[in-house]
Copies of this chain bind each other. A is one copy, B any other.
Amino acid sequence: MPRGPLVRGWRCRCNSWRVFVLDTVAKGVETELTRFFATARLRATDYGEHYVALWDSLEQASSGGKRVRPALVLAAYAGFGGRDQALVSPVAVSFELLHTAFLIHDDVIDRDLARRGVANIAGRFNDRALAHGAATDQAGVWGTAAAILAGDLALSEAHRALAKLPVDVRTRLRLLDLLDRAVFVSAAGELADVTNSSAKHPLTVAEVIATLENKTAVYSFEAPLQAGAVLAGASAEAIRLLGHYGRLVGVAFQLTDDLLGVFGDPVKTGKSVTADLREGKQTALIAHAGGTQSWSLIAPYLGKIDLSDEEAERAREHLRACGAKAAAEGLAYDHSRLAVETLNPAIIPRDLRASLIELAETAVNRVR
């Protein structure tokens, strides 16, 4: 869905998000995470091999991601002149582990045993139980227990990393408030998401966007950016703008994700283009289609567990024909554009602003 650049004269470097992230994430974050898991594993040996395996699974669950949240913390911190790597790393780690905790508990809620084709914690412990001769049902309980506990451990360390920070009281309380809001709003978004997934009618576009914003944009974009800025001592107005930007760009990312989940190239995204349709996932795409006369043609394909590739292609054709694809792309683009517009050059430092504009470009102009 390439469109014109969000900022006139801006040279779009499509697909550079991963580069941006890898460039920005300092090694300090990886070192901090590695050290945390090594210490935990050592402590866990006092409690038996299964608990060590739980920590191994948790470390695996926290690895392999794009480290988007640490990158945003570091970008905002550096952007406002922060230079203390040892101070910012735990903050970055906090938001990464929060993300890990949410993914793990999300999988328990969705009863998933794999993530991106690889066994997740519940899946690994399920297999482990079966290998130890457990019955299927017992193995399921054990897998769920392991995943719930692993999520609790990751969530706890997310809080602890901030709580231990050697900063003045005011900064600590502000960081804690950001984390608190992230948890509070994400839980609301997750509950709404689960509620929506069993809705009998298509949602409105506004409902879809509110859920994306609450479930993901706040904890993944708003809070990490604001935390980095708070730690660097940015002004209240700068922090407010970053929050606004974060919510908008976060929604743009999620809208694009949902588009790639139906119209993407599975080879590039590593993501099925039938799974969301089969699941009947409530996206902006579907919400828009629900308000058109084509709905009766599209509805039968949604939530059809045995949806074939041919049927999925027909659903895609209808989604294109009724304007839903273009509408969802337009929504993503609008959110990205509005995000960039919040970045008042008088308030957001130049280099940070450039990075954030690039991020907003990438949110909508990417193939994975």
Contact = CB atoms under 8 A, between A and B. Distances in A.
A153 interface: yes
Interface stretch (A157-165, A290-298, A346-354): A157-165
Nearest to A163: B163
Interface in A122-179: 129, 133-135, 138, 141-142, 144-146, 148-149, 151-153, 155-156, 159-160, 162-164, 166, 169, 172-173, 176, 179
Interface stretch (A16-24, A44-52, A78-86, A224-232): A44-52
Nearest to A104: B148
Interface string A178-216: 011001110111111011001010000000000000100
A54 interface: yes
Contact of A148 (B105, B146, B169, B176): B105
Nearest to A169: B166
A192 B50 CA distance: 8
A93 interface: no
A314 interface: no
Given A152-B101, A169-B166, A47 B185 contact: yes
B141 A184 contact: no
Contact of A109 (B141, B155, B198): B141
Interface residues of A, number: 57
A56 to B, nearest CB: 13
Contacts of A152: 101, 105, 151-152, 155, 183, 187
A111 interface: yes
A108 interface: yes
- The 5 A-B residue pairs whose C-beta atoms are closest, nearest first, are A159-B159, A163-B163, A47-B188, A138-B198, A145-B194
A51 B138 contact: no
